[in-house]
Amino acid sequence: MALCLCASKKGAFLFMPKKCIICAAEAIYAIKDSSESYCQECAEEQFSELDVLEKIS
Ligand SMILES: [Zn+2]
Protein backbone atom coordinates (compact mmCIF):
# COMPACT_ATOMS: atom_id res chain seq x y z
CA MET A 1 0.00 0.00 0.00
CA ALA A 2 1.51 3.29 -1.11
CA LEU A 3 1.95 6.06 1.37
CA CYS A 4 0.03 9.19 0.62
CA LEU A 5 1.97 12.43 0.30
CA CYS A 6 0.82 13.77 3.63
CA ALA A 7 2.09 10.66 5.43
CA SER A 8 5.55 10.95 3.91
CA LYS A 9 5.58 14.64 4.65
CA LYS A 10 4.69 13.96 8.26
CA GLY A 11 7.45 11.35 8.47
CA ALA A 12 10.03 13.78 7.15
CA PHE A 13 8.81 16.37 9.56
CA LEU A 14 9.72 14.18 12.52
CA PHE A 15 13.39 14.32 11.61
CA MET A 16 13.47 18.06 11.30
CA PRO A 17 13.64 20.71 13.99
CA LYS A 18 10.36 22.46 14.53
CA LYS A 19 10.00 25.44 12.27
CA CYS A 20 7.32 28.06 11.91
CA ILE A 21 4.99 26.95 9.10
CA ILE A 22 4.56 30.54 8.01
CA CYS A 23 8.02 32.13 8.00
CA ALA A 24 10.26 29.10 8.70
CA ALA A 25 11.85 30.71 11.71
CA GLU A 26 12.54 28.58 14.76
CA ALA A 27 9.20 27.58 16.23
CA ILE A 28 8.36 28.44 19.82
CA TYR A 29 4.75 27.27 19.82
CA ALA A 30 2.90 24.27 18.40
CA ILE A 31 -0.80 23.59 18.13
CA LYS A 32 -1.92 20.87 20.49
CA ASP A 33 -2.41 17.50 18.75
CA SER A 34 -1.04 18.91 15.51
CA SER A 35 2.32 19.15 13.75
CA GLU A 36 1.75 22.80 12.97
CA SER A 37 4.18 25.08 14.73
CA TYR A 38 4.74 28.80 14.87
CA CYS A 39 7.36 31.30 15.94
CA GLN A 40 6.44 33.85 18.59
CA GLU A 41 5.58 36.55 16.09
CA CYS A 42 3.36 34.46 13.82
CA ALA A 43 1.66 32.77 16.77
CA GLU A 44 0.63 36.16 18.11
CA GLU A 45 -0.54 37.19 14.65
CA GLN A 46 -2.55 34.03 14.01
CA PHE A 47 -4.04 33.43 17.42
CA SER A 48 -5.54 36.04 19.68
CA GLU A 49 -5.44 33.46 22.45
CA LEU A 50 -2.28 31.43 22.87
CA ASP A 51 -4.25 28.91 24.97
CA VAL A 52 -4.61 26.64 21.94
CA LEU A 53 -0.84 26.52 21.60
CA GLU A 54 1.77 24.54 23.44
CA LYS A 55 5.18 25.98 24.10
CA ILE A 56 7.98 23.88 22.61
CA SER A 57 11.06 23.09 24.70
ZN1 LIG B 1 6.82 32.71 11.94
The pLDDT-based confidence of 49 (bands split at 50, 70, 90) is: confident
Whole-model pTM over 0.75: no
Q: How far is 9 from 51, CA to CA, in rounded Å?
A: 27
| Sequence ranges of the domains in the chain | 17-55
Answer with the residue of higher pLDDT: 24 or 50.
Answer: 24
Length, in residues, of the chain: 57
The pLDDT tens digits of the residues spanning 2-37 come to 555 555 555 555 556 799 999 999 999 999 888 899
State residue 50's pLDDT score: 84
State residue 33's pLDDT score: 86
- Rounded distance from Cα 18 to ligand 1 centre (Å): 11
Helices and strands, counts by H and E, the chain: 2, 3
Quick one: how far is CA 11 from the chain centroid?
14
Strand ranges (E), 1-57:
29-31, 37-38, 53-55
- Rounded distance from Cα 52 to ligand 1 centre (Å): 16
